[in-house]
Amino acid sequence: MRHDHIISAKQLSRADIETVLDHAADIAADPSAYADRHADTLLGLCFFEPSTRTKMSFTAAMKRLGGDIVDMGSVESSSVKKGESLADTVRVVEGYADALVLRHPMEGSAKMASEFVDVPLVNAGDGAGQHPTQTLLDLYTIRENAGFDDLTIGIMGDLKYGRTVHSLAHALTNVDARQHFISPESLQLPRSVRYDLHQEGAEVREHTELEEVLPELDVLYVTRIQRERFPDESEYREVAGQYQIDSETLAAAKDDLTVMHPLPRVDEIAHDVDDTDYATYFEQAHNGVPVRMALLDLLLEANE
């Protein structure tokens, strides 16, 4: 895999995906073998939005590779509060670090920022746009639990604003997968994403009810309603809580169904699902460390 920056799942080929996932599997099997791989390497974290899993797993990944992090901190405590532009911020942090991870509320921000830096930049989420490293750990989890052959996956929830959905849907066109999209009509896939999927040869199957397709699914990928993306709070209230699953809902599912969620969840998956064999979302979150270790290792090695 030879990419200067990781901005979008669209740039990843099947070969790129397999390279990262295979490397992640090797790391997961023997993490100690990579403990000093990137000693004296610094990863710059620029998070303009809140994050738990992504930020912590990138931190853990870099430290488990023998390196360390420099963190911009919160927007409120940074020079952004004084009016500093994104371009200036990343150019400054580039001088302190060997690679950058950027999360920003504006769609397209990672692409723009990458044009101002010479070290590898990884998009950790740009508004309602893309989240490619989440997609890589999602794919790793899917491959480990259900495989990539003759896969039927349902993606349910906020498909309009959910960047994890947009990234995953694009990436799944690289494998043998039938995709079903389940959402309220007001939160269906954006026209641009639907167009791109058609261009990539994917059939977009849209539903308003999970029950229509649940018995067919090998994987159910659930997302929360992205409250912070709605331009109007009243629009959010109209759809909040419409899509919820519990252990009773899953009675119609295959015994080996894999239930995933990028987290955080609100009320879309009941806690009684946690104790079932279906629940894979905490394993999915933990997979962020070996997958991000693999990606950073490949990027840094290529950059050297």
List residues with catalytic annotation.
Answer: 53-54, 82, 103, 131
CB 242 within 8 A of CB 201: no
Cα–Cα distance measured from residue 275 to residue 93, given in angstroms and rounded to the nearest whole number = 43
CB 53 within 8 A of CB 292: no
Q: What is the DSSP letter of 264?
A: -
Cα–Cα distance measured from residue 130 to residue 279, given in angstroms and rounded to the nearest whole number = 25
Helix axes 132-145, 163-171, angle to 10 degrees: 60
Q: Compute φ and ψ for 217, nearest 5 degrees.
A: -80, 140
Q: What is the DSSP letter of 108?
A: T
Helix (H) or strand (E) holding 60: helix 53-64
Q: Compute φ and ψ for 254, nearest 5 degrees.
A: -60, 150
Helix (H, G, I), strand (E, B) or coil at 180: strand
